[in-house]
Copies of this chain bind each other. A is one copy, B any other.
Amino acid sequence: MSEEPKPRRRQARGERRIAQLLQAAANVFCANGYTASSTNAIAREAHVSPGTLYQYFPNKEAIAIELGERLLHQMREAHGQAFTPENLALPLPGLLDAVVDPLIEFNCANPAFLALMHGSEVPGRIAEEHDELHATLLTRVQEVIAHYAPTLPAEDRLRTAGMTFAAFKGGLDLVLAAPEGAERDATIAELKTLLLRYLSPLVEPPVTESPSVQSPSVERPVTTTPSR
């Protein structure tokens, strides 16, 4: 009935330990996957005894869930600022920069995120929340497509959004596999090119007074700004 039957008062030290443990868990999960990671290994990575770990988490799954929720929250922030209305006013290449860069940035900075979300071995709870995020992102992409191609039938829009997102995920893996630096930047630019070429034929020119101008800008190998 009551929401919090355990009003355990945490000290500052405790909060620090939790953060420390979650960081260690992220490293270990990232290296070995969820199932193959032992709680003792996480405790060792955090320079802490197994008993201490279980003072803050009731079981192994809870560690993954807490870590997953924190990452998911950061992810939501990242994509929240990516899909702002003013970005929608941008031409397609600009929008791609505005949307793709933060998402890539986040996944580069938090490799544990994909490791935790992608496996079929993760506890069900994480999978559910990941599905929610997935659905949210898909909706956003659909909205963007609807904005650029208002006359596209809803069915086509859904299919296009799904494929756009799937291609992005594939490209994201490639970006993460590339070594940081120039090569990674080039891969990111290439991913944007892919998305631009895929979506360009769909955009309908905004209704203006001049009905003749119309150049989908797809002949040149488009280079969007390489971020930073």
Confirm or deny: A35 has a beta carbon within 8 angstroms of a beta carbon on chain B.
yes
Which of A11-19, A63-71, A76-84, A216-224 lies at the interface? A216-224
Please tell me which one of the listed residues B115, B169, B171, B202 contacts residue A221 in the complex, with CB atoms under 8 A apart: B202
Give CA–CA (A169, B170) in the complex, Å: 6
Contact with B along A180-220 (1 / 0, CB 8 A): 00000011001101100110111000000000000010111
Give CA–CA (A159, B200) in the complex, Å: 21
Give CA–CA (A125, B228) in the complex, Å: 40
Confirm or deny: A107 has a beta carbon within 8 angstroms of a beta carbon on chain B.
no
What's the tally of chain A residues with a CB closer than 8 Å to chain B?
37
Please tell me which one of the listed residues B174, B202, B218 contacts residue A163 in the complex, with CB atoms under 8 A apart: B174
* Contacting residues, chain B, for A174 (C-beta < 8 A): 162-163, 166
Give CA–CA (A3, B200) in the complex, Å: 58
Confirm or deny: A109 has a beta carbon within 8 angstroms of a beta carbon on chain B.
no
Beyond A35-B33, A201-B221, is A187–B159 a contact (Cβ under 8 Å)?
yes
CB <8 Å contact, B159 and A119: no
Confirm or deny: A128 has a beta carbon within 8 angstroms of a beta carbon on chain B.
no
Confirm or deny: A132 has a beta carbon within 8 angstroms of a beta carbon on chain B.
no
Contact with B along A80-114 (1 / 0, CB 8 A): 00000000000000000000000000000000000
A138-195 interface with B by 8 A CB criterion: 156, 159-160, 162-163, 166-171, 173-174, 186-187, 190-191, 193-194
- A216 → chain B, closest Cβ, in Å? 7
Confirm or deny: A32 has a beta carbon within 8 angstroms of a beta carbon on chain B.
yes
Which A residues have a C-beta under 8 Å from some C-beta of B?
32-33, 35-36, 115, 119-121, 156, 159-160, 162-163, 166-171, 173-174, 186-187, 190-191, 193-194, 197-198, 200-202, 216, 218-221
Question: Top 7 nearest A-B pairs by Cβ distance?
Answer: A170-B170, A166-B174, A166-B170, A35-B35, A33-B121, A167-B167, A163-B190
